Amino acid sequence: MQHTSQLRYFSRKIGTIGLLLLVSMGSATSVIHADKPFQITVDGAWIQGEGTSFQRNGTIMVPIRVVAEAIGATVTWIPKERKIIVYKGEHNVQFLVGSKQALINTKEEEILEVPEIREGKVFIPLRIAMESMGATIGWDASNHTAAIESFLSPKDAKVQIATIADKTMLAIKNKDFTTLSNLSSREHGILFAPYNYIDQKRNIVIPHEKIAEGFNNTKTYLWGTEDGTGDPISMTFESYYKRFVYSNDFASAPKVGYNQTLGLGNSLNNVRMIYPESIVVEYYFDGFDPKFEEMDWKSLRLVFEKEANTWVLVAILHNQWTI
C-alpha cells in the first residue's frame, strides 16, 4: 500500500546512527551500545542532514553546521585559519580545528575534544556547542536520544504562550479576522506556509492591516507548490484558509505541543532558522482513518515572536505527511 511505502521512506529519511557512546548527563553516565540507535532532536524534531555523529572518549561529536542551523544559529568557516564561528543573538563561539582551546562568548576555555574535519564537515563536541548557544540538552535513555531544547523549554513556553495561543486558535476557528489581525505582528504581518518547510521567497506574507479584511480580500495568490506534483497553489485567501489553515477542527486537537514538534514528516523543519527566538505551538491530530496507520496525521503550527514585549503571531504553518 502507498502508506506502507511512505513509512519505509520516512524511516530512511530520519535515519539512525549506530554508536557505542558513553554520554555524561550531569553526574550520571548512560551507556549506549553499538546495536542501539542514537538520535538527536531539536525541539522534538529529528535533525536531518548529511554527516554521521560519532563519539570520542565519551564525547559526542556532531557536524556543527547541521546541528547549529537547526537551532537557528549561523555558522561561518574561515579556511585559512581552520576556524569555525557559530553565533546566535548575543552568543558567539569560535573553534579551531585540531585545538582544544575555544573562545566561548569572549572567554577562552578548554574543551573536551578537539574539533576535526571528516569528509569536508567540521565536527564539534555536542554539549559545549549547544550550551554555549543558550540551548539545553537532555538525555532520553529509553529512546536513546539527545534532546536539544533551542530556546524555551516546553513547560516554560506553555506558561508564557498558552492563553495567547488558544485565543489565536479560537479566532482562526471562528474566522474572527479582526481579532486575528490584533494578535498578529504589526511589523511583519503573518507568513502562511502550506507545508512544514518555510520558503521565504515563495510563501505569502499578508500584512497586519490586510488580515482584518478576511475573506473580503479576493486577490488570488501563489502560495507555493503542491507536494508531490509541484503544481502551483494558486487560490484566494478564502480557498487557502479552508484547505491549508483550518482544514480540521484544530481548536479541538487532542495533542498540543509547545516548542515541541509533534508531526514528524520528511520535509525540513526550518522554523528555528527563520524564527530563532520564537515559541511554536502545534495543534496535532495523529490520524483520522485507521487503515493509514497514522500516516494521515495533520497539524497546525502557530509561530509567535516578541514585539514591543508582547507575543504576536508571525506565521501559520500547515503540517502533514509529505511525499
The residues that bridge with 304 in the sheet, in sequence order, are 279, 313
Rounded distance between C-alpha atoms, residue 318 and residue 299, angstroms: 6
The residues that bridge with 285 in the sheet, in sequence order, are 298
Q: How far apart are the first and last CA of the chain?
A: 14
pLDDT digits (tens, 9 = 90+) for 273-287: 888 889 999 999 987
pLDDT score of 294: 65
* Of residues 175 and 132, more confidently modeled: 175
Which grid cell sits at 66?
A: 547541521
Q: How many CB atoms lie within 10 A of CB 89?
A: 11
CATH 3.10.450 in the chain: give the residue spans.
154-320
In this prediction, residues 44-70 reach a mean pLDDT of 78
C-alpha distance from residue 21 to each of 37, 53, 61, 119, 160 (Å) = 11, 11, 10, 21, 36
CATH T-level assignment (fold) for domain 2-149: Copper Amine Oxidase; Chain A, domain 1 (3.30.457)
Which grid cell sits at 249?
A: 477542527
> For residue 78, what is the enclosing H or E element?
strand 74-78
Q: CA angle 249-43-57, nearest 5°?
A: 155
Rounded distance between C-alpha atoms, residue 80 and residue 273, angstroms: 27
Are 64 and 125 a contacting pair, CB within 8 Å?
Answer: no
Cα torsion 204, 206, 211, 214: sign: negative
Task: Name the CA radius of gyration of the chain, rounded.
Answer: 21
Q: Which residues contact 2 (CB under 8 A, 6 or more apart)?
A: none
The residues that bridge with 61 in the sheet, in sequence order, are 54, 125
Q: What is the DSSP string of 205-253?
A: EE-HHHHTTGGG---EEEEEE-TTT--EEEEEHHHHIIIIISSS-GGG-
Q: CA angle 206-246-223, nearest 5°?
A: 40
Residue type at 244? F
pLDDT score of 3: 41
CA 183, 187, 189, 195: dihedral to nearest 10 degrees?
-110
**pLDDT of 119 higher than 70:** yes
In this prediction, residues 165-172 reach a mean pLDDT of 98
**Helix H segments across 15-93?**
64-70
**pLDDT of 201 higher than 90:** no
**pLDDT of 323 higher than 50:** yes
**pLDDT of 32 higher than 60:** no
Which grid cell sits at 239?
A: 480557498
Which grid cell sits at 203?
A: 510563501
Are 90 and 96 a contacting pair, CB within 8 Å?
Answer: no
pLDDT score of 51: 55
The pLDDT-based confidence of 129 (bands split at 50, 70, 90) is: confident
The pLDDT-based confidence of 264 (bands split at 50, 70, 90) is: low
Least trusted range by pLDDT, from 73-82, 137-146, 190-199, 242-251: 137-146
pLDDT digits (tens, 9 = 90+) for 220-235: 999 998 887 889 999 9
Cell 550520571, residue? Answer: 28
Q: Which residues contact 290 (CB under 8 A, 6 or more apart)?
A: none
**pLDDT of 163 higher than 70:** yes
pLDDT digits (tens, 9 = 90+) for 62-107: 889 888 888 888 999 999 999 999 988 888 999 999 999 999 988 9
**pLDDT of 6 higher than 50:** no
pLDDT score of 41: 80
CATH 3.10.450 fits 154-320, yes or no: yes
**pLDDT of 167 higher than 90:** yes
In this prediction, residues 5-27 reach a mean pLDDT of 35
CA 70, 72, 73, 74: dihedral to nearest 10 degrees?
90
pLDDT score of 90: 82
The residues that bridge with 122 in the sheet, in sequence order, are 117
CATH 3.30.457.10 in the chain: give the residue spans.
2-149
